[in-house]
Amino acid sequence: MEIQKTVFQVIDFDKSTSVIKNFWTLDTAQMTESDFKEEIVSFENAIKKYRPQLILGVITDLRFPISVDLQTWIANGLFQTIATTGVKKYAVIVSKDILVQLSAEQTIEEDVSQAFVTKYFDNEDTGLGWLLK
């Protein structure tokens, strides 16, 4: 079920599989740092509310490079929430934009909790398959 939709991001939750999915839109090319933070906080709030065990992060259309400061901010906020709400796996469907892809990987590497396993995939079906194994 779709639980949130903005110009930048759509968040879905499937209760039967306990998968929360967020996917970014091409409009993220016009996103500001403030917009990005609002979107991350919304995703974090959805995780707190629905308490999924699995996350499918689709960043194929993300066009917003994540700065080092934002990477740290995400590690101290979103990743702490993920670590404390019972998430076991996080599948990331990679971006077509190499700069965005690298910044996303660096962001995820900021997580030091080791509370969940993260893997990268080039398509949703493979990522979802891994999550549901």
Q: Which of 35-44, 68-77, 94-103, 109-118 has the highest mean pLDDT?
A: 35-44
Angle at 81 between CA 35 and CA 49, to 5 degrees: 80
Q: What domains are defined for the chain?
A: 2-132 (3.30.750)
Q: How far apart are CA 64 and CA 99, in angstroms?
A: 9
* Cβ–Cβ < 8 Å for 91, 57: yes
pLDDT tens per residue, range 41-59: 999 999 999 999 999 999 9
* Cβ–Cβ < 8 Å for 97, 62: yes
Helix or strand holding residue 65 (H, E): none
pLDDT tens per residue, range 8-53: 999 999 999 999 999 999 999 999 999 999 999 999 999 999 999 9
Task: Say what the pTM is.
Answer: 0.89
Q: Which amino acid is residue 54, in one-letter code?
A: L
- Residues above pLDDT 90, as percent of the chain: 73
